[in-house]
């Protein structure tokens, strides 16, 4: 048909790979399909067929090699065998018609019902030890009256005469044959002439169901639990889909979780930070004693091995990290303030020996100002 350079027709370079050629053809086929160009369908059809011819050649490695070497003359005698069997052409052509007409080449008959997702909020303690709980899920379930068939009890659906029960019909478009969802039965393959009164022929009804969910110990935020067959029932009595329960951990008043580890902040008094001592702290397994060393600074992080969470998959146990926060005394009396001032004077007499961090900071500030003034 066309004697234009096939690479020029598709708008690709001569070294274009298979994906580039496929992408270019798909774009042109969508652009020039006559059904999208009703005002000038004849011109559009010509360009559509021109692009199709170029794609058939360049998508076939043997034909492309002959074309690159001999041009159009090298394709003589191959029109009948190569053009109809271009590798990948059937797939891309079906994809294009799927975009244009809104249906694919495969059967739309439902293999199973839709999957559902349910978000379940739980406490950290429940995630650590595992629990069994119940949830209420609104979903479509199989109609008990007709058994999911959609037909009135005592009757059965009849085979669709348009598609002979296949759910699809074959149509001709621009000299090509492709499959499309049957417009009569909408892909079901059957027609319900006497529908069930309870489900109006749908084969399913809306119902809120209470389901039991087993939460395994160690489950984390974002994890999912799959309940097979607890999704929505499909039309025509097909197998129901699955229910995916997604876990969401509620914020905790003490702990923050990071994988198998947990973090918390532990406030300690000034005396304990300076002289050391023992502090009772909470863990996920109960109470524990934390030994604070003398001269501990605020922000110090202490690690408790094996006090975290047991992994739900490999059973590895994480750690607990405690960040010590030295609390500054508040609401001091006049006497307490006077005692603190006297204490500060005594400490300052020792200089860097008592306050190494402050002394170091003061020295760095001094150097900074000297550099600016220079």
Mean pLDDT score of the chain, rounded to an integer?
A: 84
Measured distance CA(107)–CA(187) in Å, rounded = 7
How many CB atoms lie under 10 A from the CB of residue 205? 18
Q: Identify the residue with better confidence: 77 or 250.
A: 250
CATH number of the domain located at residue range(s) 6-101 in this protein = 1.10.287.110
pLDDT tens, residue by residue, 293-329 = 999 999 999 999 999 999 998 889 999 999 999 999 9
Reported residue count of the chain is: 374
Return the structure tokens found at 183: 């417009």
Q: Model-level pTM?
A: 0.60
Nearest partner of 186 among 299, 102, 73, judged by Cα: 102
* E strand or H helix at 224: strand 224-227
Least confident of 111-120, 208-217, 266-275: 111-120
Which CATH code of 3.40.190.290, 3.20.20.70, 3.40.50.720, 2.60.260.20 fits the domain covering 256-326?
A: 2.60.260.20
Domains 116-157+192-249 and 256-326 in one fold: yes
Phi and psi at residue 113, to the nearest 5°: -70, 175
How many CB atoms lie under 10 A from the CB of residue 92? 18
Topology of 116-157+192-249 in CATH?
A: HSP40/DNAj peptide-binding domain (2.60.260)
| Ranges of each domain in the chain | 6-101, 116-157+192-249, 256-326, 344-373
Specify whether the CB–CB gap between 242 and 155 falls below 8 A: no
What pLDDT does residue 175 have? 57
């Amino acid at each position: 048909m066309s004697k234009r350079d096939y690479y020029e027709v598709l708008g690709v370079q001569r070294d274009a790979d298979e994906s580039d050629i496929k992408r270019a053809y798909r774009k042109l086929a969508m652009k020039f399909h006559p059904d999208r160009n009703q005002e000038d369908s004849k011109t559009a059809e010509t360009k559509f067929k021109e692009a199709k011819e170029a794609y058939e050649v360049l998508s076939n490695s043997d034909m492309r090699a002959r074309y690159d070497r001999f041009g159009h003359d090298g394709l003589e005698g191959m029109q009948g065998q190569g053009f109809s069997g271009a590798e990948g052409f059937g797939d891309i052509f079906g994809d294009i018609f799927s975009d244009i007409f809104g249906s694919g080449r495969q059967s739309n008959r439902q293999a199973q019902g839709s999957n559902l997702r349910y978000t379940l909020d739980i406490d950290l303690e429940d995630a650590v030890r595992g629990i069994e709980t119940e949830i209420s899920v609104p979903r479509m379930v199989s109609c008990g009256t007709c058994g999911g068939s959609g037909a009135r009890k005592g009757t059965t659906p009849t085979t669709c005469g348009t598609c002979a029960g296949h759910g699809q019909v074959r149509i001709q478009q621009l000299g090509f044959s492709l499959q499309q969802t049957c417009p009569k039965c909408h892909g079901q393959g059957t027609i319900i002439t006497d529908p069930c009164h309870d489900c109006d022929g749908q084969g399913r009804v809306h119902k809120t169901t209470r389901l039991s969910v087993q939460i395994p110990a160690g489950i984390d935020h974002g994890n999912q639990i799959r309940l097979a067959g607890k999704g929505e029932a499909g039309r025509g009595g097909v197998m129901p889909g699955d229910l995916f329960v997604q876990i969401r951990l509620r914020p905790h008043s003490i702990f923050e979780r990071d994988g198998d580890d947990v973090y918390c902040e532990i406030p300690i008094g000034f005396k304990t930070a300076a002289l050391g001592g023992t502090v009772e702290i909470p863990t996920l397994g109960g109470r524990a004693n934390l030994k604070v060393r003398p001269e501990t600074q605020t922000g110090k992080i202490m690690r408790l091995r094996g006090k975290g969470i047991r992994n739900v998959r490999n059973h590895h146990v994480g750690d607990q990290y405690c960040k010590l926060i030295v609390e500054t005394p508040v609401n001091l009396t006049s006497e307490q303030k006077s005692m603190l001032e006297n204490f500060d004077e005594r400490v300052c007499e020792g200089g860097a020996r008592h306050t190494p961090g402050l002394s170091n900071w003061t020295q760095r500030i001094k150097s900074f100002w000297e550099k600016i003034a220079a």
